[in-house]
Chain A
Amino acid sequence: MTPLPDTFDVLIVGAGPAGLSAAAELKSRGVASVHVVEREAEAGGIPRHCLHSPYGMREWGRVMFGPAYARRLLAEARAAGARIHTATTVTALLPGGGVELSTAEGLRRINARAVLLAMGARETPRAARLIGGTKPGGVMNTATLQEFAAFSHHRPFRRPVVLGSELVSFSALLTCRSLGVRPVAMIEPGARISARAPMAALPPILRVPLWRDTRLLAIHGQSQVESVTVETGGNTRRIACDGVIVTGGFRPENALLRAAGLAVDPGSLGPVIDQYGRLSDPAYFAAGNLLRGIETAGWCGREGRRVARAIAQALAGQLPDPALSRPLACETDAVAFALPQRLSPGGPAPAFDRLQLRLRRPYRGDIALNGARFHIASRPERRILRKLPDA
């Protein structure tokens, strides 16, 4: 493998769908040196352990499973001439595009003219949800379960409870089936499932009871989960189980941004960007699920390619002065975030040509953004797209 040079054009942090797609796009636009660093031992990101379809329909017109999709993205980035460096962890982002890295050989520092951050998102773990009880083994997020299914022969439990009803929660049910694990219940605090209504048909097919309006109060057990206490309709009851799959609640992996003092949107928990994907330090760009939790792999890949185009423009000196950017003003608290958060006037076509919104609570009504009015009728966790206001 080509070693990582000390200085080069573009560093991409994270070899998931956004980072790999951006790498291929940058090379195809003639950027000379493009290096992708990935802290895991294998490139590909989350799809590597998503042993289910559908992936790749929009990209390549065929239905693929996650691992094959990840391999194809990697092959395309490599074929385009991007260099991929695995087992390489970015430990600090320095002003102006300096980056500190750790590998098995220790610490080093590199400088890139532009850095694309594509570190993705992760699920909210049990602790951050303040769920009570003890802390036995067998409590994990969906991704960890999927890694057991994809990379290990170890079955972490036999009859877990699944917490949550987002799209990923149903993916957890399928992963359980592939491991020969039968969940004893799927529980959702709300009156409706978070994913779109047709998904509610899946639990009965898999013979998993779906309990709506049910809160997980406590997890019990010493070394392994023995039961959980739930509250449903004003009554508490105990369910015997040997694991808890804590699903969804995706949040951007923003620790490096925060440590570097780069502006973070308290609503999305991702970086504050302008319509070119530029951060508060204009040497840095971001794309993919680092911007918000969560979108599909295909979405993140397209975002990666669009921001890659903006990076090529930045290297050619074609982007407007970031000092002139202004925040988008939104008047209601029902909007959790609107992405991009800032607009820089006077430049080429934006990388983000549509505004991405998420709601904090169910909302039906008009919303004003930079003077433009939109009608919105939607719920949290749902993707909302509107035309980008003029800069």
Chain B
Amino acid sequence: MPPTYDIAVIGAGVIGCAIARRLTLDGARVIVLEKAPDILDGASKANSAILHTGFDAPEGSLEWRCVQEGYREYEAIRSQMNLPLDRCGALVLAWNEEQEARLPALIDQARANGVDDVAALSRAETLALEPNLAPSLRTAFRVPRESLIDPWSAPHAYLLQALLNGAELWRDCAVTGGAFDGQLWRLETARGVVGARYVINAAGLYGDRIDALLLGETAFSIRPRKGQFVVYDKAAARLARHILLPVPTDKTKGIVVCRTIWGNLLVGPTAEDQEDRSTADLDTPTLEMLKRKGAEILPALAGEEVTTIYAGLRPACEFKDYQIKAHEGRNMVTVGAIRSTGLSSSLGTAAHVARLVSGLGFAASPLSDPELPRMAMLAEAERRDWQCPGNGGMLCHCERVTLREAEAALTGPLAPNSFAGFKRRTRATMGRCQGFYCGQAVQDLLNRGTGA
């Protein structure tokens, strides 16, 4: 008899992590199966780190509902888990007549979406809020509740809460096949057979493949959409308070300029369709284009230093909306094509998925007094460990990561299995020197910590 669970979640991206948390808190015995050495290794490793209100989501869409519900739950739980929120607001900027003409419809759409605190701004009002904007700006509107969050501490907190309350995580554990006998799924994995009463497909960039593997068919085809980003040093963060958004197109929200919760300034993403699901290549001409684009919006950016560059893949498909479906008679829910708002919607998507699983017949008693993880606070504006006694001294100088933070990250049920995973948990080596000073010390610490 294989180890058997109520729920098997395939994929430990932000969506899988949030679903594992929700169902664990609802009383299920959950296992999370992740094919990569560490979690958040696919679409979730690179995004623009914004908590969206859903003001520009298609009206009445599932995406809109999940984003709104996700936003509310993040606000409700973040203090308990020590997760940051910088409610800086966003400005949607019109740079020409055509864009200006589209603003009233976007404002109407925001209000229809329940985001009723949006406000139109004149050119002068906009420049008073953001004096570093290029003077060619025409008009704008403000969305006060668009916010910055930590795109990694949030999903780590979700999964860690699941693990602390009985869930299991198997990494390096690709699902290679499976069959449902009317009662139980038998999933074949890289680490042996796993039994589960229900399966949640949260496989992100491989969502259609997992559907095909387990159901013999798929209702959508993932078409990876690459986004490249340029991140500027912390000195550049003074240039913008708000998230600066362009007027969106059908395909993309467009290139954003905003601060990060860690105090940098980023420009991106691009929207480049590609076949490859595993590799997001950076290319110099596009990065130079992003720098030019950033400097068109904030001219003072031209003199600022680049700290890092990155690229990610969003699991887009031929449809605009999320592809979330409960498969009657198969005890499976597909959570597919979470193309660009997954970080914002994840908690709402998880709640939606939990309702679908109930609809398939699953019932359990919610945990009465669940364990709560408390995450390391890495936000620039919050009190950090380097400001506190007993921190063990500084390991990474640029990001001010302490030895105590690094050692804490290396212990517990969600300790990293890769250098990249360690960086996501601590930010070590992710600052302006990119490991010039601490690269060797960090590698040695990891080698000791992981016994490599």
Interface residues of A (CB under 8 A from B): 39-41, 87, 89, 91, 102-107, 122-123, 125-128, 130-135, 137, 140-141, 143-144, 147-148, 151-152, 154, 156, 217-218, 222-223, 251, 253, 255, 258-259, 266
Instruction: Say yes or no: A125 contacts B436, CB within 8 Å.
Output: yes
B309 at the interface (CB under 8 A from A): yes
Instruction: Say yes or no: A102 contacts B288, CB within 8 Å.
Output: no
Chain A residue nearest in CB terms to B392 = A104
B419 at the interface (CB under 8 A from A): yes
Contacts of A141 in B (CB 8 A): 434-436, 439
> Given that A39-B397, A134-B281, A147-B439 are contacting pairs, would A128 and B306 also be in contact in the complex, using a CB cutoff of 8 Å?
yes
B393 at the interface (CB under 8 A from A): yes
B388 at the interface (CB under 8 A from A): yes
Task: Select one of B234, B282, B400, B420 contacting A132, CB under 8 A.
Answer: B282
CA distance in complex: A128, B288 (Å): 11
CA distance in complex: A255, B437 (Å): 14
Chain A residue nearest in CB terms to B391 = A104
CA distance in complex: A310, B207 (Å): 67
CA distance in complex: A135, B308 (Å): 10
> Which of B79-87, B340-348, B440-448 contacts its partner?
B440-448
Interface residues contributed by chain B, number (CB under 8 Å)? 50
Determine chain A's interface SS by DSSP, over half rule. Answer: mixed
CA distance in complex: A141, B392 (Å): 26
Most buried by B among A131, A156, A255: A255
Chain B residue nearest in CB terms to A259 = B235
Chain A residue nearest in CB terms to B231 = A127
Contacts of A135 in B (CB 8 A): 282, 310
Instruction: Say yes or no: B443 contacts A130, CB within 8 Å.
Output: no
Instruction: Say yes or no: B394 contacts A102, CB within 8 Å.
Output: yes
Instruction: Say yes or no: B393 contacts A103, CB within 8 Å.
Output: yes
CA distance in complex: A155, B311 (Å): 28
Chain A residue nearest in CB terms to B304 = A258
B66 at the interface (CB under 8 A from A): no
Please name 10 pairs of A and B residues whose Cβ atoms are closer than 8 Å in the assembled complex, sorted by A. Answer: A104-B389, A104-B391, A127-B309, A133-B281, A134-B282, A137-B419, A141-B436, A147-B439, A223-B420, A259-B235
Task: Select one of B235, B388, B394 contacting A255, CB under 8 A.
Answer: B235
Chain A proximity of B322: nearest CB distance (Å): 28
Contacts of A140 in B (CB 8 A): 435, 439
B356 at the interface (CB under 8 A from A): no
Instruction: Say yes or no: A128 contacts B307, CB within 8 Å.
Output: yes
Chain A residue nearest in CB terms to B388 = A106
CA distance in complex: A217, B282 (Å): 10
Contacts of A266 in B (CB 8 A): 303
Instruction: Say yes or no: A156 contacts B234, CB within 8 Å.
Output: no
Most buried by A among B282, B388, B403: B282
Contacts of B398 in A (CB 8 A): 255
B267-308: CB near A (< 8 Å → 1, else 0) gives 000000000001111111001100100000000000101111
Task: Select one of B234, B397, B403, B444 contacting A259, CB under 8 A.
Answer: B234
Instruction: Say yes or no: A130 contacts B284, CB within 8 Å.
Output: yes
B241 at the interface (CB under 8 A from A): no
CA distance in complex: A122, B437 (Å): 8
Instruction: Say yes or no: A102 contacts B400, CB within 8 Å.
Output: yes
Contacts of A151 in B (CB 8 A): 440-441, 444
CA distance in complex: A218, B420 (Å): 19
Instruction: Say yes or no: A218 contacts B281, CB within 8 Å.
Output: yes
Contacts of B386 in A (CB 8 A): 89, 91, 102, 106-107
Those of B389-429 within 8 Å (CB) of chain A: 389-394, 397-398, 400, 403, 418-420
B432 at the interface (CB under 8 A from A): yes
CA distance in complex: A259, B420 (Å): 28
Chain A residue nearest in CB terms to B230 = A130
CA distance in complex: A130, B233 (Å): 14
Task: Select one of B233, B388, B439 contacting A144, CB under 8 A.
Answer: B439
CA distance in complex: A388, B104 (Å): 62
B81-121: CB near A (< 8 Å → 1, else 0) gives 00000000000000000000000000000000000000000
Instruction: Say yes or no: A126 contacts B280, CB within 8 Å.
Output: no
Task: Select one of B284, B307, B394, B419 contacting A87, CB under 8 A.
Answer: B394
Instruction: Say yes or no: B444 contacts A130, CB within 8 Å.
Output: no
CA distance in complex: A137, B423 (Å): 12
CA distance in complex: A96, B297 (Å): 35
B360 at the interface (CB under 8 A from A): no
Contacts of B284 in A (CB 8 A): 130-132, 217
CA distance in complex: A337, B389 (Å): 42
Instruction: Say yes or no: B443 contacts A154, CB within 8 Å.
Output: yes
Contacts of A147 in B (CB 8 A): 439-441
Contacts of B403 in A (CB 8 A): 104
Contacts of B278 in A (CB 8 A): 222
Instruction: Say yes or no: B390 contacts A105, CB within 8 Å.
Output: yes
